Structure 1
Amino acid sequence: MSVSLDFDESDFPNHIAKKQEVLPLVNTTKYASGQRLFDAFSKNTLTVDFSIDASFKNIKLHYITTGHGGHGGGDEFVKKENVISLDGTTIKSFIPWRDDCASFRRFNPTSATWPANKIMEGETSTQQIASSDFSRSNWCPGSDVIPEVISLENVTAGKHTLSIAIPEAQVATDTENNYWMVSAYLTYDIE
């Protein structure tokens, strides 16, 4: 199969795409086997200093967060508040959570399954429960993670500090790999 796409520029002046730039701020994701999991949220608030030029317009903070820890009481399966602050002022506080994970089971065929009566004591059922069915800290196996987008309209040029706290994040141990994968970046229009 081959496909060919033709695009024509819109005649409407508002349909012209604005040029944007990206300023990466934070990424705690483990990319290689030699890297350690980032479990520092259990110990402290993560802070990052950055600068904004006077020319930055339409500034938005994009924040992506997912909790992990494969045991039942871990950061993956327990609701934990994320607090994002800019220069000491909270700009977003929320509990990242997904309760629609069962709808993605068909996209994750390797997920282990168990009879429902093994999970829900006292009930008998022929229904199968898959590990991918369980609600999680902002992600589901087989789905993407949508960033929280926060408009920073009142941010002036100069130096700033972004702080990210997960106050109830758990410590990673040998048997409980609790950690949070967090990334944050700014987008802004250029003239």
Structure 2
Amino acid sequence: MYKKLFFLSLFLAGLFPSQTTALNLISDAVYYDGYASPVSDPVPSGLIRLANTRYARKLTDTELNSFKAKIAMRVTIGALCDNYDRLGSVYLAMVPKNQPTYALSDTNVKRIEVGRYITPFMNKNRSPVEVPYTYDLSNLYNVFHDATLRSAYDLYMELDVFGVPYAAQTQVSGCTGRIDVFSGTLTFFSTDAGAAPTGYNTMVPMLNYSKLNNYNSTDVTGETVRIVTFNLPNPITDARFFVISTPHGANAGGEEYIRRQNYTYIDDVQVLTYTPGGISCEPYRVYNTQGNGIYGATPKTFAEWTSWNNWCPGNAVPIRGFTLPAMTAGNHTLKHTIPTAVFNQQQGEVYLSVYMQSKSNTALDVKDIKTVDVNIYPNPTSDFVNIRSKAEVASIALFSIEGRKLIETYRENRIDLSGYTAGVYFLNIVLKDGTSFKHKIIKK
């Protein structure tokens, strides 16, 4: 009933007129306890069960050819025996051509997260029993139609939702002893009305559901910087980056409940700044049919929601991004940092995904993609700044805010600022693997 009403509303809103193509890839697939051994229940026809938490479906040539310029993706999650808020994602998987099946661990498969969502607190015995999520994925048009890509890879869509049934087994009638947690449906809609195909003919994964925290590297509170280095064999134009991130940690003072600014840099130039959250969760209250401490018993004001929430149970996670008019051939560095993140009690993390599209006259063969985390602490500092990384430090140079080099150390993982006045400085950090980046430091 809710699906039908939603689809009707799309048509009435003029988003998808009568010439819309609908493509249902996954229908009411049942997901199971993410911590349990792989289930042996029958797999729905045409699907691959990659794990209790994920199904994959291959796109046929006919289906790929049917995509039009404006593309919407619809995820529908149904309530079974998990009544908590959980994470789910949709991935585009590029599998070597004519490989009959694959596993999550297959290193020959290239995977890109194209959508993320948070399930509501749902009781399967109360209506509504499903929640919809919608995404604009028009940027995938050229990917789906790319003949060169399709000659090398089969394209699959993966629908993932992690769940566990333990609370529901005692709190939800009819869930005793059950390990089925959610159902999932994945559908695409596309139309040419009011849209034209984009020229983005290449796609490259940079980070895929990568965990960012600061407690795996150091027991001293410090700032974690996620660095991705990559090489472009050829120059590109209109390099478009897509960023998906969510902070997690439900402990006291956890990252879920404190809104913090995120910064993304390309080659030491700040290109994206955002703070998760900033919206009211009231529109999603209707889907939260299980009592919980997030929504409570009464509505909250906009100010109350935006004072602390990073995301809403029952809502799709925003896809953020930025575009660079041109990028030269050669080495480049992407840096993502959340300077004020604490990860209190050494708990929680930020899940970060980044991929890039561009326009290129040749196939975009990005090479040497490497990822490293660098911990920089303390910041602010009264004296020493320490650098910790799996890649050893080659050099650290300290610059004034005017750009004048003040001091440089070699083969040491710290630098002394005690002799300088209070203010803002910049470190130029070079690792032995060749990674180089700048970072702002405050001297107390």
The reply to whether TM is greater than 0.5 is yes
Letter in 2 for 1:70: A
Q: Deviations over 1:76-97 (max 9, x none)?
A: 1111110111111211222222
Instruction: Select which of 56, 77, 83 maps to 2:257.
Output: 77
Instruction: Select which of 9, 15, 31 maps to 2:196.
Output: 15
Letter in 1 for 2:330: G
Alpha carbons 2:249, 2:255 under 8 Å: kept: yes
Measure, in 2, the Cα distance between the counterparts of 1:115 and 1:181. 23
Measure, in 2, the Cα distance between the counterparts of 1:55 and 1:16. 22
Letter in 1 for 2:199: K
Equivalent residue number for residue 170 of structure 1 = 342
Which protein, 1 or 2, shows the higher relative CO under an 8 Å CA cutoff with sep ≥ 6? 1
Instruction: Select which of 314, 318, 329 maps to 1:142.
Output: 314
Measure, in 1, the Cα distance between the counterparts of 2:294 and 2:271. 42
Equivalent residue number for residue 323 of structure 2 = 151
Q: Deviations over 1:96-134 (max 9, x none)?
A: 223321211222323515996xxxxxxxxxx5369xx95
Runs of 5+ consecutive residues of structure 2 not aligned to the other structure: 5-19, 23-65, 70-191, 216-221, 362-444
Alpha carbons 2:201, 2:360 under 8 Å: kept: yes
Measure, in 1, the Cα distance between the counterparts of 2:294 and 2:239. 47
Instruction: Select which of 331, 334, 359 maps to 1:189.
Output: 359
Letter in 2 for 1:167: P
Q: Indicate the SS of the match to 1:40.
A: coil
Q: Indicate the SS of the match to 2:257.
A: coil
Q: Deviations over 1:29-77 (max 9, x none)?
A: 5xxxxxxx64238642110101224253321111111111214532111
Equivalent residue number for residue 161 of structure 1 = 333
1:35-74 alignment runs, 5 A limit? 38-40=212-214, 43-54=223-234, 56-71=236-251, 73-74=253-254
Measure, in 2, the Cα distance between the counterparts of 1:17 and 1:115. 40
How far apart are residue 172 of structure 1 and its match?
5.0
CA RMSD of aligned residues (A): 3.6
Measure, in 1, the Cα distance between the counterparts of 2:68 and 2:344. 52
Equivalent residue number for residue 90 of structure 1 = 270
Letter in 2 for 1:156: T
Over 3 Å counting, the alpha-carbon distance change for 1:74 and 1:65 in structure 2 is same
TM-score computed with the length of structure 1 as normaliser: 0.69
Bigger strand fraction: 2
Over 3 Å counting, the alpha-carbon distance change for 1:108 and 1:95 in structure 2 is same
How far apart are residue 185 of structure 1 and its match?
0.9
How far apart are residue 24 of structure 1 and its match?
0.9
Count of matched residue positions in the alignment of Structure 1 and Structure 2? 166
Letter in 1 for 2:298: Q
Alpha carbons 1:105, 1:111 under 8 Å: kept: no
Q: Indicate the SS of the match to 2:352.
A: strand
Measure, in 2, the Cα distance between the counterparts of 1:114 and 1:75. 14
Measure, in 1, the Cα distance between the counterparts of 2:241 and 2:274. 15
Alpha carbons 1:52, 1:159 under 8 Å: kept: yes
Q: Indicate the SS of the match to 1:103.
A: helix
Q: Indicate the SS of the match to 1:128.
A: coil
Measure, in 1, the Cα distance between the counterparts of 2:332 and 2:294. 50
Q: Which runs of 4+ in 1 moved over 6 A?
A: 6-12
Equivalent residue number for residue 33 of structure 1 = none
Larger Rg, first or second structure (1 or 2): 2
How far apart are residue 162 of structure 1 and its match?
0.4
